[in-house]
Amino acid sequence: MAILVGEQTRVLCQGITGRQGSFHVQRAIDKGTRVVAGVVPGKGGHTHLGVPVFDSVAEAVAATQANASMVFVPPPAAADAIVESIQANMAVITCVTERIPMIDMVRVKRALRHSQTKLIGPNSIGVFTPGECRMGVMPLDIATPGCIGLMSRAGTLSYEAIAQTTAQGLGQSTCVGIGADIIRGIDFVDCLKLFADDDKTRGVVMLGEVGGGAEEEAAQYLKENPYPKPVVAYIAGQFAPPGRRMGHAGAIVMPGSGTARAKINRLMSAGVHIADSPMTIGSTMAEVLI
Amino acid sequence: MNIHEYQAKKLLAQFGAPVSKGEPVLALADIDKAIAALPGPVYVVKSQIHAGGRGKGKFKELGQDAKGGVRVSFSADEAKANAEEMFGKTLVTQQTGPAGKQVNRLYIEDGADIETELYLSILVDRETSQVSFVASTEGGMDIEAVAHDTPEKIHTIGIDALTGITADDVAKLNTAFELTGDAAKDGETLFPILYNAFVESDMSLLEINPLVTLKDGHLKVLDAKVSFDGNAMFRHPEIAELRDETEEDEKEIEASRHDLAYIALDGDIGCMVNGAGLAMATMDIIKLYGAEPANFLDVGGGATTEKVTAAFKIITSDPNVKGILVNIFGGIMRCDVIAEGVVQAIKEVGLEVPLVVRLEGTKVKEGKDIINNSGLNVIAADDLDDAAQKIVKAVKG
């Protein structure tokens, strides 16, 4: 089934009537994603894009057995929307919203403790199992069902890697945009564990960048646990000046840590294949899989 | 977003934190009035710039023997002389870089009888996703050096978001600071005040270095450095007004007005890319082909023609730019919007350097048509590799 989402996923969309929500839900439906409900407080009882709309996540779940939620809610209300879906025991939540206040995410992370929910994002392009289910905003036509698991902190850079693995004839099992914020849901290590057990995935692409410690944690995990599949990584921001935030909230090199070089060295020592250029991600994977 | 020390202290005082009496000086003419408003006889004249290490900093215009950016003065006359000497000069500290920062604001404060100096900061700990206090008895020093040399002297205390700061947390902090008597009692009030100020004002960093115990046994906030979470300023218009734009790069301010993420760098190839990760990757590949990027610029996911035009103008206003690379992978962003913005901008500001455009993704054909039919001298590229090679070749010859 690939990881996180597949044919069996029953998606609801929080904020379905908004411009972004409408646009991406329609495209997801067109390509076969099972969108079973929308949630917009005050708009319960309506139908939008052929999908029934409810006032709350709990009502939507009771009526439709939705088990995953994609959040298209603006920053001021996004954290509350995520918490509502956590409390409704959604298996997977994706949040595309950019610029959620950090203190709100602290609250979200507290709500995630002791829950079974896997949160993807925020500030994420979502999760996409080609041919089965897309939650989020990834372009549909560059992906094709296949064997590469992709996990990324970035957005458009992921599209570059998706297009390359498609061009190499490999395709993708599942693509996961873990998000570009400092405080976020699942991380590289969580994805690695899921990809390891997934029959469809033959190799894993990691797109990291400067700042934070997610790549180092992944390197540590790979060092301590023999990994059954090859991992190819590209780390963006090799020139990044220290102390400056490179667009993404999480992309900042702090004194003594988080440089691209340090991350690359750690990953290499854990047996990860490094793509030196963003244009050789697909070809590097193709070579190691032969 | 950063604010000055005097603004930070005013904010903390509003939450009830003990700070010294002080007066900001925004113009030379304010100095007398500020000194007259303070009791004396000891005054501390402090440079207000968004950088640390002020005390040890040196003024460019003054000799190496001149005193630093924070000066204790033992009379009103001495305070006045210090303030007049410091105002308008360029202070170079460990954090400003060699160019230094012009001191356009001073803060004159009542002196304090210090017994011990402590270090306190509050931040969001990335690893635990909690608001956390960092506490150390080694105040008044470079905390990174303390963390490196004597890590056992740094204590981190995470606060549960559900309960907020508890009596137990306060007790841990008092122990970490080795506080007893009146100071420990002050801590019981002060630590919750600081936690609430952090959470309610959406700070991303609150650093008090030093927090001091006075000779009379009480606690006082002697310095305060505050940064706010820019993403939360929509709910704090009064804090957003504290922004001091003279502290920031002009092009970066202009970019933020248009909601663009821009960072000036030292190279000569200007870049315009959608998505921060792809922008970094684009700069990496420019470097791979032996050239240097002049900037980082992410036009974001929802760029309009106006935004792209603004971005283009910012790039071309940099005299170091000898060539421009536009790299767009359209997802949400449509290539035709980018193409129209680029054509519009060139019509407005002209194009005196080579321009390579690489478009891919949503509406790529429409985008390419707009560029090709514009009659402008634009070099088209098939992919990022091709684009990087073409712009490097065009600039280096």
Say yes or no to pLDDT of A255 above 70.
no
Question: Would the CB atoms of A213 and B275 count as touching at under 8 Å?
Answer: no
Whether A35 is in a domain gets the answer yes
Q: Please give the residue of chain A at the shortest CA–CA distance from B298.
A: A247
Whether A221 is in a domain gets the answer yes
Question: Would the CB atoms of A240 and B280 count as touching at under 8 Å?
Answer: yes
Find the DSSP H helices in chain B: 5-14, 31-36, 76-86, 143-149, 167-177, 181-200, 237-240, 250-257, 276-288, 305-316, 335-349, 364-372, 384-396
Over residues A216-243, the pLDDT tens digits come to 999 999 999 999 999 999 999 988 887 7
Residue A161 and residue A240 share a domain: yes
Over residues A56-80, the pLDDT tens digits come to 999 999 999 999 999 999 999 999 9
Which of A120, A152, A180 marks a domain boundary? A120
Residues 6+ apart with CB under 8 A from B77: none
Question: Would the CB atoms of B287 and A239 count as touching at under 8 Å?
Answer: yes
Residue A227 and residue A99 share a domain: no
Q: Is A219 left (phi over 0), alpha (psi -120 to 50) or beta?
A: alpha
> Residues B240-248: contacts with CB within 8 Å, 24+ apart?
B240/B1, B242/B3, B242/B4, B242/B7, B243/B1, B243/B3, B244/B3, B244/B4, B244/B50, B244/B105, B246/B102, B246/B104, B247/B2, B247/B49, B247/B50, B247/B101
Question: Would the CB atoms of A277 and B276 count as touching at under 8 Å?
Answer: no
Question: Would the CB atoms of A255 and B129 count as touching at under 8 Å?
Answer: no
- Predicted confidence band at A288 (pLDDT cuts at 50, 70, 90)? very high
All residues of chain A having their beta carbon less than 8 Å from the beta carbon of residue B235 are 76, 101
Question: Would the CB atoms of A106 and B130 count as touching at under 8 Å?
Answer: yes
Tally Cβ neighbours within 10 Å of residue A209: 30
Residue A1's pLDDT is what?
Answer: 63
Catalytic residue (one of B6, B43, B119, B195): B119
Q: Is A149 left (phi over 0), alpha (psi -120 to 50) or beta?
A: beta
Whether A125 is in a domain gets the answer no
Residue A209 and residue A109 share a domain: no
Residue A112 and residue A160 share a domain: no
Residue A64 and residue A163 share a domain: no
Q: What is the mean pLDDT of residues A253-260?
A: 76
Q: Please give the residue of chain B at the shortest CA–CA distance from A161.
A: B278
Whether A40 is in a domain gets the answer yes
Over residues A184-214, the pLDDT tens digits come to 999 999 999 999 999 999 999 999 999 989 9
- Reading chain B (397 residues) residue by residue, the pLDDT tens digits are 889 999 999 999 999 999 999 999 999 999 999 999 999 899 999 999 998 889 999 999 998 889 999 999 999 999 999 999 999 999 999 888 788 999 999 999 999 999 999 999 999 998 899 999 999 999 988 888 888 888 899 999 999 999 999 999 999 999 999 999 999 999 999 999 999 999 999 999 999 999 999 999 999 999 999 999 989 999 999 999 998 887 777 787 888 888 888 988 889 999 999 999 999 999 999 999 999 999 999 998 777 888 888 998 999 999 999 999 999 998 777 889 889 988 988 888 888 999 999 999 888 999 999 999 998 889 999 899 999 999 999 998 7
All residues of chain B having their beta carbon less than 8 Å from the beta carbon of residue A247 are 261, 276, 279-280, 296, 298
Average pLDDT along chain A: 94
The answer to whether B119 is a known catalytic residue is yes
Residue A67 and residue A176 share a domain: no
Which of A67, A88, A120 marks a domain boundary? A120
Whether A19 is in a domain gets the answer yes
Residue A167 and residue A108 share a domain: no
A246 → closest Cβ in B229, B285, B296: B296
Residue B64's pLDDT is what?
Answer: 86
Q: Which of B 86-125 lie inside 8 A of A, CB atoms?
A: 124
- Residues B280 and B332: their CA atoms lie apart, in Å, by 19
More confident residue, B249 or A89: A89
Closest Cα of chain B to A80: distance in Å?
14
Domain residues for A263?
A: 142-289
- CATH code, A194: 3.40.50.261
Say how many domains are in chain A: 2
Whether A281 is in a domain gets the answer yes
Residue A199 and residue A163 share a domain: yes
B127–A contact, CB cutoff 8 A: yes
Residue A102 and residue A154 share a domain: no
Which of A120, A154, A173 marks a domain boundary? A120
Residue B99's pLDDT is what?
Answer: 87
Residue A275 and residue A191 share a domain: yes
Residue B245's pLDDT is what?
Answer: 80
Catalytic residue (one of A46, A48, A114, A248): A248
The overall pTM is greater than 0.90: yes
Residue A256's pLDDT is what?
Answer: 63
Cβ atoms of A266 and B298 within 8 Å: the answer is no
Residue A285 and residue A148 share a domain: yes
All residues of chain A having their beta carbon less than 8 Å from the beta carbon of residue B129 are 105-106, 109-110, 183
B163–A contact, CB cutoff 8 A: no
Residue A173 and residue A110 share a domain: no
Whether A129 is in a domain gets the answer no
Whether A128 is in a domain gets the answer no
Residue B335 tokens, joined: 């290539």
Q: Tell me the ipTM for this assembly.
A: 0.93
Give B189's strand partners: none
